[in-house]
Chains A and B, each alone.
Chain A
Amino acid sequence: MKILYAILIAGSLLALNIVLLIANRRTPVPEGCENLVPDCKGCAITSCAIRNSYTKGDTKND
C-alpha cells in the first residue's frame, strides 16, 4: 500500500509541475516586458538552456 501512496504523491507532484509549466507558458508576458534579459553573462556555462534562450542572436556571433 505504501508504494501506491508513493507513486500517487510523486505522480501528483509531477502532474502539478507539468500543468503549471504549460499554464505559465500560456500566460502572456506583460506589456513592456517582452524583451527583458537577465544579466547572467558573468556565468561561464555557455550550454545553459536559460542563457541560450535569451541570447540566441548573440551566441551565433560568439
Chain B
Amino acid sequence: MNLFSIFIASLLVNNVILSKFLGMCPFLGVSTKLSSAVGMGVAVIFVILGASVVSWLLYYYALVPLGLEYMELICFILLIASFVQFVEMFVKKTSPALYKSLGIYLPLITTNCAVLFVAMDNITQKYNLIETAVNSVAVAGGFMLMLVIFATIRERLEGSDMPKAWKGNPIAFVVAAIMAIAFSAFAGLV
C-alpha cells in the first residue's frame, strides 16, 4: 500500500470516529464551538503523531529484540501518558502563546482512546516509520475534519427551533449518525 492510499484510507474510508467509533468523548464534548474544535483537532494531530512515532521506536527497538511484544499495550499506555505530560510541560515552558491555544486540551487527549488505537494499529499493520507517520497524521486529520464539520453543524443547531427533548446531545447523536452514513459512501474507494 503506498503512502497516498494509506493517507486516504485513514482520513476518509476508515475514519477513526465514523467507522471505528473511537474518540467519541471529545467528538461530542468539545464540538459545541468551532474554535474549541479546531484547538482540540490541532492538539490531537500533534499528540497522535508524536506518540505513534515514539511507540513505534519503543516497539521495534526495545520490545521486539527482547521478545516482549506481549507488553505492547501496557507500554504504549504508559508511553502515551508520559508523552502528553512532557508535551504539556514543554509547551508551558517554551511557548505561552501555544499553551494558550492548545495546552488546555492536552489533559483531555490523555484519555482519548484514538491515540492508543493509532499506536497499536501501526504495529498491527506492520507499517515502517514513514508509513507510521503518514497513517498517524491521516487518522488525526480525519479526527479533526469530523470534529470541525460536527462543530459547525452544532453551532447552527444551537439557534435552530426544535423540540426541547431534542436539544443538546440527542440531536448531536442523530447528526453523527447521518454523518456516519454519508461517509460510508467512501467505502471501497481505496
Interface residues of A (CB under 8 A from B): 2, 5-6, 9-10, 13-14, 16-17, 20-21, 23-24, 27-33, 36-45, 50
Return the CB mask of B38-80 against A: 1 if under 8 Å, else 0: 0000000000000000000000001100111001001100110
Are the C-beta atoms of B36 and A38 separated by less than 8 Å? yes
Main secondary structure of the interface of A (DSSP, over half): loop
* Distance of B152 from chain A, by nearest CB (Å): 14
Q: What residues of A have a CB within 8 angstroms of the CB of B29 in the complex?
A: 40-43, 45
Mind listing 17 A-B residue pairs with CB under 8 Å? A6-B68, A10-B78, A13-B79, A13-B82, A16-B82, A17-B78, A20-B86, A20-B89, A24-B89, A30-B96, A33-B96, A38-B105, A39-B32, A39-B33, A40-B29, A42-B169, A44-B169
Q: Which 4 A-B pairs have the closest CB atoms?
A: A43-B29, A30-B96, A13-B78, A20-B85
CB-based nearest A residue for B24: A43
Cα of A23 to Cα of B29 in the assembled complex, Å: 28
Contacts of B32 in A (CB 8 A): 39, 41-42
Is B104 a contact partner of A37 (Cβ separation < 8 A)? Answer: yes
Q: A30-B100, A40-B30, A50-B107 are in contact. Are A9 and B25 (CB under 8 A)?
A: no
Q: Find out whether the CB atom of B67 lies under 8 angstroms from the CB atom of A2.
A: yes
Note all chain B residues with C-beta closer than 8 A to A43: 25-26, 28-30
Give the residues in chain B near A27, CB-CB below 8 Å. 89, 92-93
- Does B142 sit within 8 A of A, measured CB to CB? no
Q: Nearest residue in B to A29 (C-beta to C-beta)?
A: B92
Chain B residue nearest to A42 (CB atoms) is B32
Q: Cβ of B99: which chain A residues have Cβ within 8 Å of it?
A: 29-30, 33
- Does B22 touch A at the CB level, under 8 Å? no
Residues of chain A contacted by B121 (CB below 8 angstroms) = none
**Would you call A38 and B68 a contact (CB within 8 A)?**
no
Return chain A residues, CB-CB under 8 Å to B172.
42
Select one of A9, A21, A45, A50 contacting B75, CB under 8 A: A9
